[in-house]
Amino acid sequence: MILLALVAVMALSGCFGGDSKNGSRGPTSFVTLKGSVAAPQQVESSLLAVVSSNVDTNVRDSFRNASVYVNGDLISSFTIDSSTGTSWPLRLYNVPESSSGRYAVHIAAGKVVLKSNIDDADKENLVVDIETTAAALLAEASNKEQKQIIASYPAIVNMLKVELNAALIQTASQLGNNFIGSTVVAEAVQQYKAHIDAVGSFDSEAGLAYLQQENDLDGDGIVDLQIVQVGGGQRLRFFTALATATSLFEGATSIDAYTDNSLLSDFSDGRVSEANTFSAADKDFAVGLYLSRSASADRYIKIFVRRIDLSTDGIFSGVVVEYRLISTATTAITTGQKTLLLLNGTPVEGAVLATDFLQDGVPTDNNLAYVSAQTGIGCYSGNQALVAVVDGQPELDKLSSAPRYSSGMYFTGTGAALEDLRPGRTLEVGDVFSAWFPLTKNYALFKIRQIDANSITVDFKVNSTPNEPRF
């Protein structure tokens, strides 16, 4: 598999056709399109014809030397600076000016095609990536504008992106002669076009979605809102990974009738319930759910339900909703001070035997303990790498992230981490370390505050969000 950002689609035979809304073109003038292109996170190597092995350099070269079409015209003068990163500066020169003001851009690297349909307003800010590709496909299938699809149906775009990502890690032989003309892509586009058809078009500044049993509403590739059938299949319940209880606002006439402040107040005051379930006859109500938390913010979601498609036989089709994400100050980050007792040492008041900075307990391979003067703070058994040294003894409030966990960077104890930094280096006040805990998968940063014969005291900050190294 080759790392890079995702994309795709439309049959190569026909996907580069001219702009049907442009009419006959006599290129009396030309324009320059500027922006960026982001390649897929994962692409099966056989889809990139010029790639002989799964090497990033070869992948970058394949996009640097891609074929670029605008409104069906092959553009011979362009630059894609794919030297660093995954979002690359893009410049298209001598593009025939469109009389309709619309430009259908296709970038083809081997059998992979990225798309974006823009108008004159976006000539200086062209974006070509997985999102624009999914949105362009849905726009073409639904006879809508790409901008409208991205603005009004972001959750549906997110779901199609998941399908495209899955298709891009299949081989060329599995997909057929070309990826964008594959059956799997065509079927996915039609599936999510049907969701747009089910939602319909109505005047709203909120996101529109046809909720399924599993939904990714924030576009991070992870299911964040789920629907289950209860009561013999005749009722529905909404929940997220963080909360099974929801707030409820009945008799709403619009999503704005349930204000953001009212939703947040309902959660802070405990006006939520796991008993909130809904039948096919229920509509025009709003629910709030605690969606996610991160280093930057906690997020809630407000959903205004317009229609529930649930048959009397209990067959679930979807829920037509308007929705809006609400961000508040983060509760994921906790700071404090902790004293760790030396194993088998003399008890010290207030000291703990082991901790992951979320919960204290007995030493295991999944938390930190003060093992010995030589090992320092680390895994009591010596079987699990938990800590990495942060060079320079910075203040914790100056650090915005921990190094991501990887072998060779994290060690079983602070002693081993310091020895790797500089042979003979021993633990001293002011040293700073990051920690990663394999059970909870959370990161922490800690700074040595005091070293005594039977204990070590540290200042710490911890992010409770799994797999999130940012602070």
For the stretch 77-112, pLDDT in tens is 999 998 888 889 999 999 999 999 999 999 998 888
Give the count of beta carbons closer than 10 Å to the beta carbon of residue 66.
22
Phi/psi of residue 316, nearest 5 degrees: -95, 130
The answer to which of 179-183, 325-329, 366-370, 451-455 has the lowest mean pLDDT is: 179-183
Tell me whether strands 376-378 and 387-390 are parallel, antiparallel or unpaired.
Answer: unpaired
Comparing CA positions, the residue from 375, 381, 336 lying closest to residue 362 is 381
Q: Are 156 and 34 in contact (CB under 8 A)?
A: no
Question: What's the pLDDT score for residue 26?
Answer: 56
For the stretch 390-404, pLDDT in tens is 999 999 999 999 999
Structure tokens that stand for 406 in this block: 């990887």
Give the count of beta carbons closer than 10 Å to the beta carbon of residue 301.
25
**CA quadruple 389, 394, 397, 401: dihedral sign:** negative
Question: What's the pLDDT score for residue 62?
Answer: 81
- Is pLDDT at 205 greater than 90 in this prediction? no
Of all residues in the chain, the percent with pLDDT exceeding 90 is 74
Q: Are 384 and 366 in contact (CB under 8 A)?
A: yes
For the stretch 120-157, pLDDT in tens is 999 999 999 999 999 999 999 999 999 999 999 999 99
In DSSP notation, 13-29 reads HHHT---TTT-S----S
Question: What's the pLDDT score for residue 52?
Answer: 38
Q: Are 153 and 161 in contact (CB under 8 A)?
A: no
For the stretch 213-272, pLDDT in tens is 999 988 887 889 999 999 999 999 999 988 999 999 999 989 999 999 999 999 999 999
Per-residue pLDDT, averaged over 197-203, amounts to 85
Decide which of 358 and 9 is more confident.
358
